[in-house]
Amino acid sequence: MKRFVSRIQNYWKKVSLQGKIVSLVSLLVTATVFALTFLSIQRERSNFQSELMEQANLLLDTTSLTLRDPLYNLQIDELSDVAKVVSSNPDVTIFIVYDQNGRALVDSSQEGLIFSQNADPLGSSLLRLAQGDAYSEWQEGQLLAGRSVVLGNRPIGAVVAGMSTQPLDAKIATITFQGILLGVLTLAIGATLTIVFARQITNPLSELADAAGKMAGGDLSMRVAKTSDDEIGQLAGAFNEMATGLQEREWLKDLFGRFVSHEVADAIRNGRVILEGESRLVSVLFCDIREFTDFSERHSPQEVVKLLNEYLPLVVQAAQKYNGMVNKFGGDSTLIIYGAPNEVEDNAYKAVMTALGIRKAVRQLNVSFAEKGEDFRVGVGINTGTALAGAVGPMERQEYTVIGNTVNLAARIDGLNKQFPEHDILISPWTYEALGDHRQKFNMVSLGSVKIRGKNEPVEIWAVQGKV
């Protein structure tokens, strides 16, 4: 039994919503029709039985009076004539007359006279009934009713009549047939209407499910038609509003990622950024295009923008390769941070590797520029130290960045590329020290101590010539 129930449950789970609605409504309609048919049959049966009982009692009352004298005088011929008249009624199945000893004198089911010597159990039981009481028994195809015939206060015999229930059986058969026919017609019409009605529900829901699946796959342009003002229509409207909201959020997310680095955006969403500010050990890389002002004066704005759009993606790619966070663009200059907002292991080494990557990309870009008679160089300055990382600016427009002497010195070192034009990657002594064992991987030369604005003491500058 449990296995059967389990199979039914598994099958029901696989049935579509439209199939479930049609099945449930069809079952409800069928059950209602058959219940009404059953109630009609029971009502007709009860009414018929009541009417047949009244007819039987009326027949017994009439025949008891008619048979009183013939029974008292044992006039068998008259009793037989009465029995023939009564049994000629098509609704009477049997008519029996008993004497005062319970012996059958006349039986319409048998031909000829009966001279029974033995008392019939039914006749004997009828004679023992109290005056005014009657006997009744529902048998297959008939109602058997009887009573005693009393003269004075003494029973002188009994009479039994069988009333046919064939009209009831025919009527019940007709009602049953009509009920089945009505059930089939109602089921067919109801199923058709239910299918139409179910489609009004399931089709929009299927469209919603399909649209939701496509949205889950990344297509946020999906919308569904609102074909009604009912709950399904309200659901469609809510879905469209949700899709519009998600599309706007995705657009804002993409826009946010363009103006704020993805590292910062992810860190802010995940709560890893202390916007109020925190001290971080970072390596800061500044790079810019050498003699960019002169280049801008010799070229149109479109050509300048074209150069930047070819150059800056190379810088971004080199930074992202080594977990650097491109913090801001300042015309031709770029600020890249290693160590904020996320910790970066060996940030000094990765900053130097980024600088070498930028150098390589610029040299490849210069191949195409050489055909136009152009050539441009990039200068890089790197410093390592503690900086304050956080959000700066008014509440209406804030920017996540790093500030402090470490950042300022990196910018100053980047500016020294003009002083040392034969070198394009310069690092501070603090970056040199932070490289640790990685120093052996690079060819570096000391350019000596250089006086830098903002520093009381000269700072030793190192130039990175390349990898070993």
Q: Are 114 and 235 within one domain?
A: no
Q: Are 338 and 424 within one domain?
A: yes
- Give the per-residue pLDDT at 353: 93
DSSP strand pairing (278-289 vs 378-392): antiparallel
The one-letter amino acid code at 42 reads Q
N residues, the chain: 468
Residue where one domain finishes, among candidates 169, 196, 228: 169
Phi, psi of 404 (to 5 degrees): 130, 180
Q: Are 441 and 330 within one domain?
A: yes
- Give the per-residue pLDDT at 268: 55
Residue 214 counted as domain residue: no
Encode the chain (468 residues) as per-residue pLDDT tens digits.
Answer: 666 556 655 655 555 565 666 667 777 777 777 777 778 778 877 887 888 888 888 888 888 888 888 888 888 888 888 888 888 888 888 888 888 888 888 888 776 556 567 788 888 888 888 877 888 888 888 888 898 888 888 888 889 988 888 887 777 778 777 777 777 787 777 677 777 776 666 677 677 777 777 777 777 677 777 777 666 677 777 777 777 776 666 654 554 444 445 555 555 555 555 556 688 899 999 998 888 877 788 878 888 888 888 888 888 889 988 988 888 887 778 899 998 888 888 899 999 999 999 999 888 888 877 776 677 788 999 999 988 887 776 765 667 788 888 888 898 988 898 888 888 899 999 999 999 999 899 999 999 988 888 788 888 999 999 887
For residue 378, the surrounding DSSP H or E stretch is strand 378-392
| CATH number of 58's domain | 3.30.450.20
Indicate left, alpha or beta for 466 from its phi (over 0: left) and psi (-120 to 50: alpha).
Answer: left
Residue 10 counted as domain residue: no
Residue 197 counted as domain residue: no
Q: Are 278 and 291 within one domain?
A: yes
Helices and strands (DSSP H and E) totals, the chain: 12, 13
How many CB atoms lie under 10 A from the CB of residue 344?
Answer: 22
Q: Are 374 and 364 within one domain?
A: yes
Largest separation between any pair of C-alpha atoms in the chain:
161
> Measured between alpha carbons, how far is 324 from 183 in angstroms, rounded to an integer?
77
Long-range contacts of 185-194 (CB under 8 A, 24+ apart): 186/29, 186/30, 186/33, 187/26, 187/29, 187/30, 187/33, 190/25, 190/26, 190/29, 191/22, 191/25, 191/26, 194/21, 194/22, 194/25, 194/26
The one-letter amino acid code at 316 reads V
How many CB atoms lie under 10 A from the CB of residue 178?
Answer: 12
- Give the per-residue pLDDT at 259: 42
- Give the per-residue pLDDT at 106: 84
Please check whether residue 381 is in contact with residue 354, taking contact to mean a CB–CB distance below 8 angstroms.
no
- Give the per-residue pLDDT at 432: 93
Residue where one domain finishes, among candidates 105, 135, 169: 169
- Give the per-residue pLDDT at 258: 46
Residue 205 counted as domain residue: no
Q: Are 128 and 254 within one domain?
A: no
Q: Are 248 and 298 within one domain?
A: no
**CA contacts within 13 A on the Cβ side of 286:** 23
Q: Are 253 and 265 within one domain?
A: no
DSSP strand pairing (425-427 vs 378-392): parallel
> Measured between alpha carbons, how far is 19 from 25 in angstroms, rounded to an integer?
10
Total domain count, the chain: 3
Residue 202 counted as domain residue: no
| CA angle, 238 then 242 then 247, to 5° | 150
Q: Where are the beta strands (DSSP E) in 221-294?
A: 278-289
Please check whether residue 467 is in contact with residue 442, taking contact to mean a CB–CB distance below 8 angstroms.
yes
- Give the per-residue pLDDT at 445: 93
Q: Are 291 and 252 within one domain?
A: no
Please check whether residue 99 is in contact with residue 74, taking contact to mean a CB–CB distance below 8 angstroms.
yes
Residue 458 counted as domain residue: yes
Q: Are 85 and 66 within one domain?
A: yes
Residues ≥6 apart with Cβ < 8 Å to 179: 33, 34, 36, 37, 40, 41
Q: Which of 389, 440, 433, 386 is nearest to 409 (CA)?
A: 386
Reported pTM: 0.50
- Give the per-residue pLDDT at 116: 62
Q: Are 346 and 321 within one domain?
A: yes
Residue 218 gets which letter from DSSP?
A: T
Residue 352 gets which letter from DSSP?
A: H
| CATH number of 454's domain | 3.30.70.1230
> Measured between alpha carbons, how far is 265 from 34 in angstroms, rounded to an integer?
67
Residue pointed to by tokens 């990344």: 218
Residue 328 counted as domain residue: yes
Q: Are 297 and 310 within one domain?
A: yes
What is the domain range of residue 405? Answer: 261-467
Residue 292 counted as domain residue: yes
